[in-house]
Amino acid sequence: MATANNKARCLVCNKEKNTYSCKGCSNEFCFPHLTEHRQRIETQLEEIINDYDQFQQAIVQQKRNPHNSSLIQQINQWETNSIEKIRQTAEECRETAMELTQKSISEVEKKFSNLSKKLKKIREENEFNEIDLHNFQLKLTQITKELRQPSNISIQQDSQEFINKISVISSFEEIQIKKNKYQQFGITVAGGNGDGQGLNQLYYPYGIFIDNEKSIYIADYSNHRIVKWKLNSKTGQIIAGENGMGNQNNHLTATTDVIFDKENNSFIISDMGNRRVIRCFDQNQTNQQTIVSNIICWGLTIDKNGFIYVSDWGNHEVRRWKQGDKQGELVAGGNGQGNDLNQLNYPTNIFIDEEYSLYISDYKNHRVMKWEKDAEEGTIVAGGNGQGNSLKQLSHPRGLIIDHLYQIYVADCRNNRVVRWCEGNEEGEIVVGGNGKGSQSDQLNQPTGLSFDNEENLYVVDKNNYRIQKYEKI
């Protein structure tokens, strides 16, 4: 409330008049301007009262309509957005599932076609037994199950979320996870003491195989012998070729490969320098027989029927020999030296799988060829892009094995590495080595042979380091 004051200057008109002091703002006003000041204050009061009335109405409205609150509106928006995301995710999953289902059907159709061809073939040749029939029935059951419920496609839900997220996952993309991985530093398990004839030495080793006791059998090329190194042994034991280089039954010359024939309990040896393949029934040096003559054999393999496959380095071909055969059956190459799909160029190591598909290191074509049973030509499954050290190339491939996923391991000799290829891929991947030529534990110097033991550890014949390296599976 204003109080009278002696003459002073009014805050508004700045004239010296009888003025009145406002207790609210402590300013001096003449009477006319004091009246204006009071009206202004009253107007502000009315505005505040109006704001309060409006807020009161807002409270009443909120009580009457709680669904209109900002929180509920945010929840509604979240719901709308979530539904749209669910719809989009469901549509994407449907499209992915249909694409993968078609891919799975194509894979099953391919397997069925191959199986049908093989069934038709054995029927035409009238060469089958109960084991073959059982295998055919088992495979048909497997692909039937695969057609009805593909094992490599599934729905994955994330149950940790309030709204479960779903996605389609496929083993087509996950197969990399299943690949074996190996320690990059090898352990020397045979040789490694320089070149020489001692029982703790090797001299340009080539072929190799591992038995169930993890004993290592080595074709010791320049020592003209086959040696056996037992697990954790510091020295080897000569099991063939103890009498040195020569062409008699108790001699060997330039051995390149050795395999074991379980059915006949005998070793099969590539006695390349004597142009023959021999069978050694036991460690008695005199108990040997020649099974293939007049052949420059480099690599050997044996199928589940006991048939022996021999790579003929000189004739650029591979032949299969049944017991008692006088002339092997041509199964790959045989069309002269060349790089066409029906030709080979100095074949070295070979491997036969359970389906009788033959894999061949085509040495001077710098590629690995796969010849299916009774095929007239092969397909390139590794390399084939000229000599080189890129992941698309090989340089003089030698040792060759296939793992449980039908992945192809190749001793990439002149690139001083072991590479792995999946059939159909444009390039391989380095498994071990690839760190330059050398004798360190993570290096190789012209690897020539490969083998797995029964725990899938990888063994590599490190030829120019005169040693066998073991790379443990991780």
Asked whether residue 174 carries a pLDDT value surpassing 50, the answer given is: no
pLDDT tens per residue, range 85-120: 788 888 888 888 888 888 888 887 887 788 788 778
Q: Measured between alpha carbons, how far is 275 from 266 in angstroms, rounded to an integer? A: 20
Structure token digits, residue 13: 């008109």
Asked whether residue 277 carries a pLDDT value surpassing 60, the answer given is: yes
More confident residue, 157 or 303: 303
Asked whether residue 176 carries a pLDDT value surpassing 50, the answer given is: no
Structure token digits, residue 70: 């900002």
Q: Measured between alpha carbons, how far is 150 from 154 in angstroms, rounded to an integer? A: 8
Token match 């009498």: residue?
243
Token match 């020569």: residue?
246
Task: Tell me what pLDDT residue 177 has.
Answer: 44
In one-letter notation, the amino acid at residue 436 is G
- The domains of the chain, with CATH numbers, are 4-64 (no CATH), 85-170 (no CATH), 187-471 (2.120.10.30)
Asked whether residue 460 carries a pLDDT value surpassing 60, the answer given is: yes
Q: Measured between alpha carbons, how far is 170 from 154 in angstroms, rounded to an integer? A: 7
- Mean pLDDT, residues 415-421: 97
- For residue 438, report the phi and psi dihedrals to the nearest 5 degrees: 180, 180
Look up the pTM and report it: 0.66
Percentage of the chain lying above the pLDDT 70 cut: 90
Write the CB contacts of 135 (distance below 8 Å, at least 6 apart in sequence). none
Asked whether residue 6 carries a pLDDT value surpassing 80, the answer given is: no
pLDDT tens per residue, range 24-56: 777 888 888 888 888 888 888 788 788 777 777
Write the CB contacts of 11 (distance below 8 Å, at least 6 apart in sequence). 27, 28, 29, 33
Asked whether residue 351 carries a pLDDT value surpassing 70, the answer given is: yes
pLDDT tens per residue, range 209-263: 999 999 999 999 999 999 999 999 999 999 999 888 988 888 899 999 999 998 8
More confident residue, 136 or 408: 408
| Averaged confidence pLDDT in the chain | 86
Four-CA torsion 450, 408, 432, 346, nearest 10 degrees: 60
Tell me how long the chain is: 474
**Cβ(39)–Cβ(47) under 8 Å?**
no
